[in-house]
Chain A
Amino acid sequence: MDPFGSSAPSSGASSGPSADAMMEQIKTQLAQAYAKEFLETVGSKCFTKCITKPGTSISGSESSCISRCIDRYIEATGIISRSLFSSPH
């Protein structure tokens, strides 16, 4: 269960998970963590913007606001990373 294990370096024995398997597992877990964080952030930002007065259900205008909000948040993320990494600054 513990991906990093706590076993002492076993001399030459090729038992236990291989480095490749470990890296794959870490990649998957990281991707899940990144996705979770992103979804939570988008959820909180778009809820604030679009659901200003929660009614008995999400209205048509609220739901179109939400989908625009999601698209814009993704676009904003792109603008921010470009401004950081390709600045002539």
Chain B
Amino acid sequence: MENNAELQRFLEQEKQKAMVSEMVGKLTSVCWDKCITGTPGSKFSSSESTCLTNCAQRYMDMSMMIMKRFQSMQ
């Protein structure tokens, strides 16, 4: 009984982690394609790393917009 609750909590936690990991993986892939246009150097230029940061944050903003847009359609 108690083990079962522990297992539930564990699964819930892992589900959260999987969601986060999927999100990070997806954003990295999308933003890599957008921001890293040349061949990868031995260090990111500051414009590349700024682009990556902005890209991730704007993607989240956009997801919010899309969600709101769809909510308002219902």
Contacts and interface: CB of A to CB of B under 8 A. Distances in A.
Interface in B19-73: 21, 23-25, 27-29, 31-32, 36, 39-42, 44, 49, 52-53, 56-57, 60
B41 A68 contact: yes
A15 to B, nearest CB: 13
A69 B53 CA distance: 18
B52 A34 contact: no
B4 interface: yes
B57 A87 contact: yes
B74 interface: no
A87 B52 CA distance: 13
A82 B49 CA distance: 12
The secondary-structure label for the interface of chain B is helix
Interface residues of B, number: 30
A58 interface: no
A30 B31 contact: no
B42 A83 contact: no
A68 B39 CA distance: 9
Interface of B: 3-4, 6-7, 10-11, 14, 17-18, 21, 23-25, 27-29, 31-32, 36, 39-42, 44, 49, 52-53, 56-57, 60
Given A23-B7, A45-B29, A79-B53, 8 more contacts: A19-B3, A26-B10, A37-B25, A72-B36, A79-B49, A79-B52, A81-B24, A83-B56
